[in-house]
Amino acid sequence: MSRAYYVTTPIYYISGNPHIGHAYTTIVADVLARTARTIGPTFFLTGTDEHGQKVANAAAAAGKTPQAWTDELVPHWKALFAAYHVEYDDFIRTTQARHVEKVQRVFERLRERGDIYRGKYEGWYCVYDETFWLESKLVDGRCPTCGREVQWISEEDWFFRLSAYRDRLIEHFERRPHWVQPRSVYNEMMAILREGLEDLSISRSSLHWGVPIPNGGVIYVWLDALLNYITAIGWSEDATRFHTYWPAQTQLIGKEIARFHTIVWPAILWALGEAAPELVFAHGWITVDGQKMSKSLDNAVDPFMLAQRFGADAIRYFLLREAPFGSDFSYSEEKIAQRRNSDLANDLGNLLQRTLSMLQRYRDGIVPPADVSRSELGRRFAALHVTVRERILDLRFREALEGIWELVTALNRAIDDRKPWELHKNDRTSELNAVLYDLCEGLRRLAIMLAPCMPERMREMWQQLGTPGRIDEDWSVSLRGWGGLAPLTQTALAAPLFPKMDAVAPT
């Protein structure tokens, strides 16, 4: 079996309800997975990170056991992903036995190899980030990442010899300058490596909510969490399955967790005799008034409300189109409404409606035959999908959509320039057939190429076009050459794809 495309999101720390930032990462992974599935075997993993002190504290505050607390929260996350049409292949929870057993096996392996040792941890801990900090790293006595108070910890713990992997990490970074993206994050990680690495405490002897280790204590939640990427695909259990997927092609993360994913994670993998992932991509933050969106900043927008108000596919489109993937971008409902009205309702939705209504008027809704070899649009756009797919898998979503929009614009222009109503009035049958056919074939291709981004609305468009077959089949078949749409296809007239909304006033 050939290597599959394996994409992961971070598993989400389940200390509260999800916000739009969580949906963002997962939507991006979904777009990648849907695109990769048009080529071959693909696996898309997401899930929840359920151990650690923050969860234990939140559960205690709610008067519940941590397990009952997480059991109650998980359905909210699954519902969010469903609301945004996300189709993952697996949803892992770190409290599941399939994960816990393998994390314990990892611990045993590391101990056998001498990669871990027992020592005393004394220092600071940020419960919010579940991160240990040296005194020298604190900023005004607070966590350098989130600015919260830290607590003093003094306990006997297990340590992973992270420092021993420093040279290999530096070499890996130098040899594969694109394995961490964007460049700003790569540079930041390189600076950390150059400064030097401390060994990492990988247990918490005073905590009980986690993967238990012999002689008491639990495994540090970050080690536990990182391992999900390999426990879910059968590490130490099914070598064939595991090596079909590992190393992952694309691991998506938020930039605040880059250190764990690009320094600790490869070192742990090497200690286990496994390869580092091919790409770790740290995306930007969605900001509101320049502040990172998060529950704690109290500016989180209810993502369910957003999907209901604008439509999940319009939000998906907005998130991919608004800024290059990797940079921060500021969220506002005004911008979402603008994008929805201009790009989706005007450019795309109107194109479909105009085309289908002309087809209805002039050809009873039936796609006419045409000589596609003479189509100028065909010459220009028959290979567009190759570029689009390349850009998507390269995580250049905005450029991919810009490329697709060139076709949208060209089809709209074709209507204005070739004036089908005049061709009809003057009985120029073959010219009218040619333009109507081009429009329908162009729309069919748009539906296919936009389906990973807007799966639900594009299925609707597909149905209106009356096209037989599956919208998500191999692009090298469905998009091979201009002219895949069979003449005599009966199209339908239906409701607008993106009904126009009232403009949203700036806030």
Residue nearer to Zn ion on the CB measure, 145 or 330:
145
- Considering only 29, 55, 143, 263, the residue that binds Zn ion (CB under 5 A) is 143
Q: How far is the CB of 175 from Zn ion (least distance, A)?
A: 32
Q: How many residues belong to the chain?
A: 507
Backbone angles phi, psi at 494, to 5 degrees: -140, -170
Q: How far is the CB of 124 from Zn ion (least distance, A)?
A: 10
Question: What is the Cα Rg of the chain in Å?
Answer: 26
Q: How far is the CB of 129 from Zn ion (least distance, A)?
A: 4
Q: How far is the CB of 10 from Zn ion (least distance, A)?
A: 16
Residue nearer to Zn ion on the CB measure, 118 or 148:
148
Three-state DSSP at 303 gives helix
Residue nearer to Zn ion on the CB measure, 105 or 137:
137
Q: How far is the CB of 145 from Zn ion (least distance, A)?
A: 5
For the chain, the distance separating the N- and C-terminal CA atoms, rounded to the nearest angstrom, is: 54
Q: Per-residue string for binding with Zn ion, 301-320, x by CB under 5 A?
A: --------------------
The count of C-alpha atoms lying within 13 angstroms of the C-alpha of 276, restricted to the half-sphere facing its C-beta, is 22
- Considering only 39, 74, 138, 146, the residue that binds Zn ion (CB under 5 A) is 146
Q: Which two tokens stand for residue 304?
A: 């369910």
**Cα 218 to chain center, whole Å?**
30
Residue nearer to Zn ion on the CB measure, 50 or 130:
130
Residue nearer to Zn ion on the CB measure, 232 or 257:
257
Q: Per-residue string for binding with Zn ion, 99-138, x by CB under 5 A?
A: ---------------------------x-xx---------
The count of C-alpha atoms lying within 13 angstroms of the C-alpha of 62, restricted to the half-sphere facing its C-beta, is 17
Task: Determine if the peptide bond prior to 182 is cis (ω within 30°).
Answer: yes
Measured CA to CA, the distance from residue 281 to residue 155 in angstroms comes to 35
Residue 124 β-bridge partners: 133, 152
Measured CA to CA, the distance from residue 107 to residue 265 in angstroms comes to 14
Q: How far is the CB of 142 from Zn ion (least distance, A)?
A: 8
Q: Within 10 A of 499 (CB to CB), how many other CB atoms are there?
A: 10
Q: Choose one: 147-155, 290-298, 304-312, 492-500; the region binding Zn ion (CB under 5 A).
A: 147-155
Q: How far is the CB of 259 from Zn ion (least distance, A)?
A: 12
Measured CA to CA, the distance from residue 255 to residue 492 in angstroms comes to 46
Q: Which two tokens stand for residue 64?
A: 């519940």
Residue nearer to Zn ion on the CB measure, 57 or 332:
57
Residue nearer to Zn ion on the CB measure, 19 or 444:
19
Q: Choose one: 100-108, 146-154, 206-214, 318-326; the region binding Zn ion (CB under 5 A).
A: 146-154
Does the footprint of Zn ion cover residue 29 (CB under 5 A)?
no
Report yes or no: 236 and 102 within 8 Å, Cβ to Cβ.
yes
Measured CA to CA, the distance from residue 154 to residue 180 in angstroms comes to 34
Q: Number of residues in contact with Zn ion, rule: CB under 5 A? A: 7
Residue nearer to Zn ion on the CB measure, 145 or 184:
145
Q: Choose one: 139-147, 381-389, 404-412, 418-426; the region binding Zn ion (CB under 5 A).
A: 139-147
Q: Which two tokens stand for residue 38?
A: 């048009």
Q: How far is the CB of 141 from Zn ion (least distance, A)?
A: 12
For the segment 148-177, give every residue that binds Zn ion (CB under 5 A): 148
Measured CA to CA, the distance from residue 164 to residue 182 in angstroms comes to 26
Q: How far is the CB of 471 from Zn ion (least distance, A)?
A: 44
Q: Choose one: 145-153, 228-236, 412-420, 481-489; the region binding Zn ion (CB under 5 A).
A: 145-153
Comparing CA positions, the residue from 113, 118, 107 lying closest to residue 159 is 118
Residue nearer to Zn ion on the CB measure, 13 or 304:
13
Q: How far is the CB of 25 from Zn ion (least distance, A)?
A: 20
Task: Give the C-alpha distances (Å, rounded to integers) separating 320 from 332, 432, 444.
Answer: 14, 36, 21
Residue nearer to Zn ion on the CB measure, 145 or 236:
145
- Considering only 17, 57, 104, 145, the residue that binds Zn ion (CB under 5 A) is 145
Measured CA to CA, the distance from residue 496 to residue 486 in angstroms comes to 24
Q: Within 10 A of 497 (CB to CB), how many other CB atoms are there?
A: 21
Residue nearer to Zn ion on the CB measure, 296 or 308:
296
Residues forming contacts to Zn ion in the complex (CB under 5 A) are: 126, 128-129, 143, 145-146, 148
